[in-house]
Copies of this chain bind each other. A is one copy, B any other.
Amino acid sequence: MCYRCAQSIAELIDSMGARRSSWPGETSISTIGNYMTHYTKLAIDRAEDLRFGTAPQPVSTRRGMIIGGGTVYPELNFTLPSIEIKKENWPEIRNHYQQIISSALQRAAELDCPGVVIEFETLPPMTEHPEWGLEIAQTLLDSMEKAHATHGLKSVLRMTPNDNREFVRPPQLRSGYHLERMLQLFETSAAAGAELLSIESVGGKELHDQALVECDISQVIFALCILGARDMEFLWSKLHEIALRHRVYCAGDTACGFGNTAMVLAEQKIITRAFATVVRAVTAVRSLVAYECGAVGPGKDCGYENVILKAITGCPMAMEGKSAACAHLSSMGNIAAAACDTWSNESVQNIRLLSAMAPTVSMEQLIYDCRLMNQATHESKDSALTLQRWMIASDAALDPQAFILTPENSIALAKAIVGADSRYHAGQAVALEAIRLMKKAHEAGKLKIAPRELPWLDRVEKTVTDLPEDEDEFISDMMETVDASKYNPAEYGLKT
């Protein structure tokens, strides 16, 4: 499957309605299943159209939630407290999930919530043993069905298996034990009723970690735009087939292990915020591949780059900010909501807080956040934009990453991506655009960048500008530079 799919085919797909809110008949699907969308223009090119709750390509679920159709829904995530995942503990583990879902849905019903996305992000052993992951998914689905029958509460399950392919080092990506089991969990849970398929795929991460702590932008671009993107193309084509088979949706990937790792390292002052910001911009090139391969959203919560992807694709997006502080601290607590379609807590352990178990607490917080946004939208588009204006003003001037993710700047970054003729060039262009935006704002006094961070901007800019024009030259340069013991080029279809 080649990247530069002819634009005519892409347009054909568009005209056939491949990116739509519900699946058309099977015939048209199967004919388009083998082609990729190559985005050459933006689905949303005015900042005022890039706002929460509304997406040009909403997604309709079986119970009638319309994600991106005007209402922001809470999206709840959760994980186990400290417990070993093994057979002996299984009854206790199942009880945890049972208790999490029933309490959280109970609270959602009490608070008259219009609908809920439940994300089940498995733990590695639950993907390694797909029957375990499926059993929990089934537990969740049963409770969701019951809450619908009892209280009329709408809900939909997002299934996010682990990408365990990195358990082999260097990662074995295109075949083998871990890939097979992961695909099996996707397949069986889609069959069971998980309507949204997601993953935090790891292709390229084996080189990206090191690139981060060295603030090495060349290696970042290699890891994200060459390696990661190629792996996503492989993986998401497989997921697309599964989704078609079970008439569910490919929802989206996230560069969590890349962009969020950079963000958290910056919060911990290990690397500069400015560099983490450039990394975020580049991750959009990689995360976009899921949509090129047929994903329709809602994009996965922890992808702060999702707002850029929403501008490009028009698909609804999950986002997370202040109410995900239980999972990670962030400099984008409010602004992250500016264009969200579902609003997530990212993750929280099932532990007891003074009021209730932590997932129930998150559910309540998310619901109130969503109510506020939906009230504004309900009033008018202008009201929604007013609330969005405050969300943006809250954070944008204080942090470079928040700044580049305003709707206006996200559109500028999105343009840099769709204007490029390859992912490699898109990575360069979006990195330079992010740097340009930061520098301009800093000079205009609109953005606070710490003095000790400023030299990094110039350094990174120079490195990107000096990269070779030719992609093959870049690849062979990088293959000479990077630690060859850490990855296997053949797993990315690269010749050694």
Chain A residues proximal to chain B, CB less than 8 Å: 79, 107, 111-112, 321-323, 325-331, 333-334, 347-349, 351, 353-356, 358, 360-361, 364-365, 367-369, 371-372, 375-376, 379, 383, 386-387, 390-391, 393-395, 398, 448
Please give the distance in Å from A196's CB to the nearest CB on chain B: 22
- Please determine whether A358 and B353 come into contact, CB atoms closer than 8 angstroms: yes
Docked pose: A192 CA to B347 CA in angstroms: 41
Provide the residues of chain B in CB contact with A376, threshold 8 Å. Answer: 390
- Please determine whether A368 and B333 come into contact, CB atoms closer than 8 angstroms: yes
17 contacts between A and B (CB under 8 A): A112-B398, A322-B368, A323-B365, A325-B365, A326-B361, A328-B355, A329-B361, A333-B368, A334-B371, A334-B372, A348-B353, A348-B354, A368-B395, A371-B394, A372-B394, A386-B386, A387-B390
- Please determine whether B112 and A322 come into contact, CB atoms closer than 8 angstroms: no
Provide the residues of chain B in CB contact with A347, threshold 8 Å. Answer: 354
Known A372-B391, A394-B375: A326·B355 in contact at CB below 8 Å: yes
Provide the residues of chain B in CB contact with A325, threshold 8 Å. Answer: 355-356, 361, 364-365
Provide the residues of chain B in CB contact with A398, threshold 8 Å. Answer: 111-112
- Please determine whether A327 and B355 come into contact, CB atoms closer than 8 angstroms: yes
Docked pose: A351 CA to B358 CA in angstroms: 12
- Please determine whether A329 and B356 come into contact, CB atoms closer than 8 angstroms: yes
Provide the residues of chain B in CB contact with A331, threshold 8 Å. Answer: 111
Of the candidates B329, B355, B361, B369, which one forms a contact with A355 in the assembled complex, judged by CB atoms under 8 Å apart?
Answer: B329
Docked pose: A349 CA to B351 CA in angstroms: 11
Closest chain B residue to A373 by CB distance?
B390
Of the candidates B348, B354, B361, B379, which one forms a contact with A349 in the assembled complex, judged by CB atoms under 8 Å apart?
Answer: B354
Provide the residues of chain B in CB contact with A322, threshold 8 Å. Answer: 364-365, 368-369
Docked pose: A387 CA to B387 CA in angstroms: 7
Docked pose: A365 CA to B329 CA in angstroms: 9
Docked pose: A367 CA to B112 CA in angstroms: 27
Provide the residues of chain B in CB contact with A360, threshold 8 Å. Answer: 329
Docked pose: A394 CA to B367 CA in angstroms: 10
Provide the residues of chain B in CB contact with A361, threshold 8 Å. Answer: 325-326, 329
Docked pose: A448 CA to B365 CA in angstroms: 21
Docked pose: A393 CA to B387 CA in angstroms: 14
Please give the distance in Å from A339's CB to the nearest CB on chain B: 16
Docked pose: A361 CA to B322 CA in angstroms: 9
- Please determine whether B329 and A368 come into contact, CB atoms closer than 8 angstroms: no
Closest chain B residue to A79 by CB distance?
B354
Closest chain B residue to A395 by CB distance?
B371
Docked pose: A227 CA to B157 CA in angstroms: 53
Closest chain B residue to A82 by CB distance?
B352
Q: Top 4 closest A-B pairs, CB basis? A: A333-B368, A322-B368, A375-B390, A371-B394
Docked pose: A364 CA to B334 CA in angstroms: 11
Provide the residues of chain B in CB contact with A326, threshold 8 Å. Answer: 353-355, 361
Closest chain B residue to A393 by CB distance?
B375
Provide the residues of chain B in CB contact with A368, threshold 8 Å. Answer: 321-322, 333-334, 394-395
Docked pose: A321 CA to B349 CA in angstroms: 22
Closest chain B residue to A448 by CB distance?
B112
- Please determine whether A354 and B383 come into contact, CB atoms closer than 8 angstroms: no
Closest chain B residue to A392 by CB distance?
B375
Provide the residues of chain B in CB contact with A111, threshold 8 Å. Answer: 331, 398
Please give the distance in Å from A178's CB to the nearest CB on chain B: 24
Docked pose: A114 CA to B333 CA in angstroms: 16
Interface centre among A112, A329, A387, A398 (most CB of B within 10 A): A329
Closest chain B residue to A371 by CB distance?
B394
Please give the distance in Å from A284's CB to the nearest CB on chain B: 24
Known A386-B383, A393-B375, A394-B368: A349·B355 in contact at CB below 8 Å: no
Please give the distance in Å from A69's CB to the nearest CB on chain B: 20
Provide the residues of chain B in CB contact with A112, threshold 8 Å. Answer: 398, 448
Closest chain B residue to A322 by CB distance?
B368
Please give the distance in Å from A447's CB to the nearest CB on chain B: 13
Docked pose: A48 CA to B475 CA in angstroms: 63
Docked pose: A387 CA to B398 CA in angstroms: 22
Of the candidates B330, B364, B372, B394, which one forms a contact with A329 in the assembled complex, judged by CB atoms under 8 Å apart?
Answer: B364
